[in-house]
Each structure stands twice: as C-alpha cells, then as structure tokens.
Amino acid sequence: MNLDLRQVTDGVYATSRAAMMVEVADVIVFDMDGVLMDVHHSYPVVICKAVDTFLREQGFSGDEPPVTPEETAYFKAAGGFNHDWGLAQAISLIYLVKAELAGSRQIDELRAASPDLPTLARFSAQYGGGVGGLETALAHLIDPGQLRQVQERWDRPRITRLGQEFYAGDRSSIVFGVSNDTIKGDGLMLSEKPLVDRSTLRRAPLRYGLYTGRNRGEVQNAFDMADLDGVFAEEALVTETLGIRKPSPEGLFVVQRALHPRLMIYAGDNLDDWQTAARYEAERAIDEPPCVFCGVLGGSPGPLSYGLFQERGVDLMTASVPALLSWVTERKSRLPAT
C-alpha cells in the first residue's frame, strides 16, 4: 500500500514522486479498453453471450445466464485475464468441470454449486492468474482422468469464434478475418463509446503510444468510432496482431524504441497493465527511459480498481484520461521554457 498517494486534483491521485516525474514525461502509452474506450456494453457482454451459447451447444440448459457482465470483473481483478476470449474459455471450463462433478448440465443448479465464480477467481489468482491458474485450481477439485475428459470437450477455438462473432457481427470478416456463421447483424462493438476525444489528446504537450490486447482490426474500429486516426504513429501501435501480449513488457519497449521518450507513462485499467509496467521497469537498461504506471479507475475490475492498485503501491491513478492529461499539462507548464 502506498501511504504517500493522495488526491492532487479532481480525478487524479499521485505520490510526490509521480508528481515530479510527470513534469518530464513526454510520452503516454495507453491501453485501450476502459482507458480510451468505454467497453462496459461490449466485451463483458460478449464474454457472457459466448459462454452461454457454447454451453447450450454442449447440451446445457437453464433459465439463468452462466455468468453476468458484473461477475467478469472478479476475474479481471484476479489478473491474467486481459484477453477476453481467454476469459470466456475459462468460465466455460468452470461449467464443464462442475457439470462433470455434479452429473448435471442444468445451469441454474451449477451456478449455485460451490465453489462459486468469485471464489474460483480468487483461487486462480493464488495459482498465478489467467487460464493456467484456473486450470491448476480446478485440478484440485476433480480427478485427473475426469479433467482430461472435460478438456477434450473444451473447444477453445469455438469459444473464441463465438466471441469474435458476437463482438463484430456482420463485420467479423473485416475485424477478425472470419465469417459470422452463427451470429448475424450488428456486433456489440457498436455499443462502445470514446472516453477521450481527438482535440483533448492534441492539446496536451505529449506524444502517444498504444499497447493493447486488441488486434489491429479491433483497434481500427475504435479509431474510426473515436476519430483517432493519425493521433498515434503506426510504429507506436502494439496490438495482438504483432504477436505481443501483456503482461510482456516488450510492447512498452517497442513504443520506447519508436518514440525515444525521456519518460513514459503507461495508463491501464487492470493488473495485467500494472504488471507490464513493473516488468518494464525491472528489465530496462539504466540508460533506457523510465515508465510510470497510471491506474485508470472504473475499467474492467470495476469498483475494485482503486483498492487493487493501492495494494500494489502504484504512484499514480486517474478517474479518466482527460483528467490525467489536464494534470500532466499543468505540471509541465511549471517548468521554465527551454
């Protein structure tokens, strides 16, 4: 816990260390979801629909949904679930395991069976987070032979495909390069809203990079919706299409080599983003620029965000990108002109 963290202006919390460092920051690297785009009505809903559709294809039934958008926040808070298709796969595996143990495919019954989703999210965190951590946790609940049988029915590519189709709908071929054979019509990506506008970014005395788990097609869709084309240099865009995934710090090194900053801020909304920045700081050479992590509140972990970042001792948090940009601009204006 960082006891020096305090509110320094509306919507910004910083330590004295961060306040001094941002005065020389000249590059901000953004995550996208929950930072530049409000995705509360897209990806969390897509995860739930993909899980529900997959389970019903597997013979599950029931009146209740297997998971709600609010419950996905428990897994985001656990870490390792930055990739939404991976989270849909993880929740599907939980139900396949519970069904094997209970001898039932009734969703309502399995939802009520212990351990519940929040508990399993915590268990996955204890084993390193992500799908791997969850698999380890589930292995303590089921016989190894039964688990192997379950994993044979765990069609991860199918779950990913459903997620892509629910997200992009009739634009699936453009965004993901796949046909929407199951889900027709508009995708849930059209429900997203920009959290920052072009003029706000342009007014700040900063340059920008992007390190996101989206692929290049998903990024372009967001840029089109938010009118952000041309704000980011192409060489400073790090997407899944490049084969780099958080929490690898390589994405920050790519932006650093492209933009040659004096100091970077990495603004992200979850623990994978925090870990990415921490690993960059641990691995950078002494002559490479430092990176200050800024936790963006209210993103994928929802109301848990502040506590999660505070527990990990972050030096900087913000309620929004515009609030962060305004504060950084004000701090930099105090420096004498050079």
Q: Is the pLDDT of residue 119 over 80?
A: yes
What is the predicted pLDDT for the residue at 2? 72
Query: Measured between alpha carbons, how far apart are the two ends of the chain, in Å?
Result: 37
pLDDT at 327 over 60: yes
**CATH superfamily of the 6-38+193-333 domain:** HAD superfamily/HAD-like (3.40.50.1000)
Tell me the pLDDT tens digit for each residue of 244-261.
Answer: 999 999 999 999 999 999
Mean of pLDDT values over 149-171: 96
Q: Is a pLDDT exceeding 80 seen at residue 336? A: no
Both tokens assigned to 199 = 């003029």
pLDDT mean across residues, the chain: 94
Structural domain boundaries in the chain:
6-38+193-333, 43-189
Return the bridge partners of 208, or none: 28
What pLDDT, in 10s, does the model give residues 282-316? Answer: 999 999 999 999 999 988 887 888 988 999 999 99
